[in-house]
Chain A
Amino acid sequence: MISKKDFIKINDWLWEIPKSFRSDMRVPSRFYVSEEMLEDVFRDKSLGQLVNVATLPGIINYSLAMPDMHEGYGFPIGGVAAMDMKSGVISPGGVGYDINCGMKLLKSEFTETEIRPYLEKLGTEIQKEVPSGLGQGRQVKVDISSINKILEEGAQRLVEQGYGEKEDLENCESQGRLGRADATAVSDHAKNRGRDQVGTLGSGNHFLEIQKVDEIFDENIAKAFGLFKDQIVIMIHTGSRGLGHQIATDYIGLMMRTMGKYGINLPDRELAAVPINSSEGQKYFSAMSCGANYAWANRQMITHFIRKAWKSVLGEKSSPLVALYDVAHNIAKIEKHLVNGKETEVCVHRKGATRAFPPEHPEIPLKYRKVGQPVLIPGSMGTASYILVGQKEGEQAFYSTCHGAGRTMSRHEATRRMSGEEVVKSLELKGIIVKCWSARGIAEEAPQAYKDIHKVVEVVHNAGLSRKVAKLKPLVVIKGE
């Protein structure tokens, strides 16, 4: 058992579990929380999981966790680990089942006052256009050769087909396409699960929200991002659906069977890993890249359907919905970072953590190059979301930051404590419209079941991982199921 006496306080926002804590640790573990949130981290097994991550071969500097950390499979959610490309391993447990689960934000030119009369109708139309995919799915089943194209070309494929603008790709992590994707690394099982889910939202904590910019913390950066007070924006939170989960299932199985031959012995089966440069490791990276591309394509397709609903409700009045940014929070990326003062290529696992590149980083769009990468952080349903910006000090965490609020209450406990109707009513009292096919789905995602998003963001802001730019308030919440 880990207790507070095992920690070293690095500063008010950062704590360390030294390498001496357990003999199999290769590096220390570090986690970002405030003193006030410290009690929360003992509630589940996330710290033990963070220590397990520190045992992975080739891990550089620290195993890291963000303030929204909670127990996951293998890695804790909120976990970050950078691996040496030669001696390091790659682990599907460090990416998560929902490969490239992530966020996209669309900006309008309207203020809240202008859109308020249309909110109810917009909610209804968007819900109609973007199915959850649990019932009938999309009516069209894409054939396998089209799925292969999406897996290898991501959002770029959809934009080529007319489901978006060139600007959508510019304003997207990796331009919506990871180059190392190879569809032959993805099983037919995974492809079949993906055939009728392009443009579907899914269930659980995935959502669409019409929001307004409620508060601006940094005028200059907000301006560079094209944000202004009371502006109407639309947030999308979803990932690679059944296809990504199948890739994870397939490769966790494969790695469990093969890691023995590489002499890898791990404390948890869900951490299963193989050397990055092994044939299995390369194959997983290609398959994971396909999953990531599928997720970017999914969010692009959803964007297309939202634009369609937007236009049909607002008609002549409608103005374009422009993507601010699209960013993953479950992914492994090959990136260059300073290691022992030398620029080195490493494989960064981010599971429930968001990339946050600083100003002047070559991998961010030119228009944001001077200010830094936009970071999109969703809060729990009906609370608030944040737009942050990456900064130089984020180097300490391989330019990673938090990804959301993080659960504290079980889904069952949430449904026991409150009904869907109660939650809808309390949100309506706050002036928020809720659209969801399932009352249980609403109760499970009640804001009380999550950590306080404001406290989470305060930690990453103060720790220097990313800085607050704007706070967003929900006006319409559309949930899958």
Chain B
Amino acid sequence: MKNYEILEHKADLKIRIFGATKEELFKNALLGMTESMKPETKKPEEETKRQIKIESTDSAALLVDFLSEVLYLSQTNREAYSKVQFKKFSDNQIEGELFGQKVERFGEDIKAVTHHNLDIHQKKDKTWEATILFDV
């Protein structure tokens, strides 16, 4: 199964994300956003870790809030996170640790994660799918 795919959109970046579980969906959403930012990592590589804790109203808002927090940490620390380990994962709360690398620069400037036509649902085969639009 693919982790994510980039969809066609007029002005912005639209990504469809897949996951065998909801937790995996969130992990792949992180990967999709980080790879889309086209990070140029520092050489020699410098590993980095950050704690995150998010609380929201529902799964959809939780996904946007989670990615918004990652975006904030990426931009202010100049770091790209490709992995997350969750210590807590519920419908409206997550807690965990991000793993990534220091970057020289980002090739794409993602400015915000939006709720525009946001979709997150479990499919008939029990796997998860989400569509998110990023303001670039």
A256 touches B111 (CB 8 A): no
Whose C-beta in chain B lies nearest to the C-beta of A73?
B116
* Contacting residues, chain B, for A204 (C-beta < 8 A): 109, 136
A411 to chain B, nearest CB (A): 7
CA gap between A268 and B114 in the complex, in Å: 12
- A413 interface residue, CB < 8 Å from B? yes
Residue-wise interface mask of A (400-421) relative to B, using a CB-CB cutoff of 8 A (1 in contact, 0 not): 0000000111111100000000
A410 touches B9 (CB 8 A): yes
- B10 interface residue, CB < 8 Å from A? yes
B10 touches A44 (CB 8 A): yes
A252 touches B115 (CB 8 A): yes
* Contacting residues, chain A, for B57 (C-beta < 8 A): 256-257
A269 touches B115 (CB 8 A): yes
B65 touches A136 (CB 8 A): no
A135 touches B105 (CB 8 A): yes
Chain-A contact segment, one of B19-27, B68-76, B80-88: B68-76
* Contacting residues, chain B, for A193 (C-beta < 8 A): 72, 75-76
Knowing A97-B135, A249-B68, A411-B11, the reply to whether A134 touches B106 (Cβ < 8 A) is yes
A75 to chain B, nearest CB (A): 11
Residue-wise interface mask of A (74-104) relative to B, using a CB-CB cutoff of 8 A (1 in contact, 0 not): 1000000000000000000000011000000
A272 to chain B, nearest CB (A): 8
- B46 interface residue, CB < 8 Å from A? no
- B61 interface residue, CB < 8 Å from A? yes
Most buried by B among A189, A249, A270: A249
A242 touches B75 (CB 8 A): yes
From the candidates B61, B64, B112, B133, name the one contacting A245 in the complex (CB within 8 A): B112
A410 touches B112 (CB 8 A): no
* Contacting residues, chain B, for A245 (C-beta < 8 A): 111-112, 135
* Contacting residues, chain A, for B8 (C-beta < 8 A): 410, 412-413
B135 touches A73 (CB 8 A): yes
Residue-wise interface mask of A (249-280) relative to B, using a CB-CB cutoff of 8 A (1 in contact, 0 not): 10011001100000000001110100000000
- A216 interface residue, CB < 8 Å from B? no
A253 touches B105 (CB 8 A): no
- A237 interface residue, CB < 8 Å from B? no
Interface size on B, residues (CB 8 A): 30
A residues near B, CB below 8 A? 44, 70-71, 73-74, 97-98, 134-136, 189, 192-193, 195, 202-204, 242, 245-246, 248-249, 252-253, 256-257, 268-270, 272, 407-413, 438, 440, 481
A395 to chain B, nearest CB (A): 31
Knowing A189-B72, A192-B76, A204-B109, the reply to whether A410 touches B114 (Cβ < 8 A) is no
* Contacting residues, chain B, for A410 (C-beta < 8 A): 8-11
From the candidates A71, A98, A135, name the one contacting B111 in the complex (CB within 8 A): A98
* Contacting residues, chain B, for A136 (C-beta < 8 A): 105
B104 touches A135 (CB 8 A): yes
If A71-B11, A407-B10 are given as contacts, then 14 extra A-B residue pairs at C-beta distance below 8 Å, sorted by A number, are A70-B10, A73-B133, A98-B111, A193-B72, A242-B75, A249-B113, A253-B68, A256-B57, A257-B57, A270-B114, A270-B116, A409-B10, A410-B8, A411-B136
Whose C-beta in chain A lies nearest to the C-beta of B73?
A189
CA gap between A270 and B68 in the complex, in Å: 15
* Contacting residues, chain B, for A481 (C-beta < 8 A): 107, 109
Most buried by B among A98, A202, A203, A440: A203
CA gap between A476 and B6 in the complex, in Å: 34
CA gap between A454 and B72 in the complex, in Å: 39
